[in-house]
Copies of this chain bind each other. A is one copy, B any other.
């Protein structure tokens, strides 16, 4: 039987946030490859007869190559990501690795979409989005100036923002700089939510304002959600004016 590769978005958290298509791809796989915590996220689907490879941070390129190589060698492979694999996940790397295989040896590849962390964070808060933008604050792969340019341009719009990779052990000042850039155009009382481990047992969601949110409360896996100017507290929820950004 020929191999195949599924690039799977597992959704933000527990088993009930996965789609049936994502679960079926993992169940049907002979090999499951992914960053360790993401493999753990689908541990309930794994079987002893599957080859399971837990990778580490920073080895994404090698992991993509490995998943493709296993598929070329005839295995049915699930390469798993949290959230959606196309949103700062493994899909781009894995598709490039697959495209480098000569066409007559290239396995079929399918990208299985997932619920993103940003959309899940929004749902946990109520309905704070509307028109919105999703930006990674990581400068590991792009110059920081490019990230700043995106934030500055977006600050001047009325879009809500979901910010990924806001902080790491070594990137500690960037989020405060983003706050400064946003405050050039957005009101200090703009609602900002810090959503950490959304959909997991230890989910933590804190709502503050652009002026006073505590960047120290933010981890790498936090989504920082900046509401648009029309969002307001309604009951216990944060809700955008429908259609008004």
* In the complex, chain A residues 119-168 whose Cβ is within 8 Å of any chain B Cβ: 119-120, 122-124, 126-136, 138, 140-142, 146, 149-150, 153-154, 156-159
Highest count of chain B CB atoms <10 Å: which of A15, A17, A124, A138: A17
Say yes or no for A204: interface residue by CB 8 A criterion. no
Q: Are A113 and B106 in contact (CB under 8 A)?
A: no
For A99, the closest partner residue in chain B by CB is: B235
Q: Are A134 and B132 in contact (CB under 8 A)?
A: yes
Say yes or no for A105: interface residue by CB 8 A criterion. no
Say yes or no for A190: interface residue by CB 8 A criterion. no
Q: How large is the interface on A (under 10, 10 to 19, 20 to 34, 35 or more residues)?
A: 35 or more
Within the complex, the shortest CB–CB distance from A82 to chain B, in Å, comes to 14
Within the complex, the shortest CB–CB distance from A224 to chain B, in Å, comes to 14
Say yes or no for A18: interface residue by CB 8 A criterion. yes
A150 to B156, CA, bound (A): 9
Q: Are B19 and A242 in contact (CB under 8 A)?
A: no
Say yes or no for A112: interface residue by CB 8 A criterion. yes
Within the complex, the shortest CB–CB distance from A190 to chain B, in Å, comes to 17
Number of copies: 2
A20-B20, A119-B84, A122-B113 known; A239 and B92 CB under 8 Å?
Answer: yes
Q: Are A111 and B140 in contact (CB under 8 A)?
A: no
Within the complex, the shortest CB–CB distance from A130 to chain B, in Å, comes to 8
A116 to B114, CA, bound (A): 8
Q: Are B95 and A235 in contact (CB under 8 A)?
A: yes
**In the complex, what residues of B have CB within 8 A of residue A123's CB?**
9, 84-86, 91, 111-113
Say yes or no for A11: interface residue by CB 8 A criterion. yes
Q: Are B16 and A85 in contact (CB under 8 A)?
A: no
Q: Are B132 and A242 in contact (CB under 8 A)?
A: no
A37 to B133, CA, bound (A): 28
Highest count of chain B CB atoms <10 Å: which of A24, A106, A150: A150
A16-B20, A92-B240, A237-B99 known; A153 and B150 CB under 8 Å?
Answer: no
Interface contacts beyond A17-B20, A116-B116, A150-B245: sample of 18 additional A-B pairs, CB < 8 Å, sorted by A? A18-B19, A19-B115, A86-B122, A87-B129, A92-B127, A92-B242, A93-B242, A95-B126, A95-B127, A96-B234, A96-B239, A98-B235, A131-B136, A132-B133, A141-B242, A146-B245, A150-B159, A153-B154
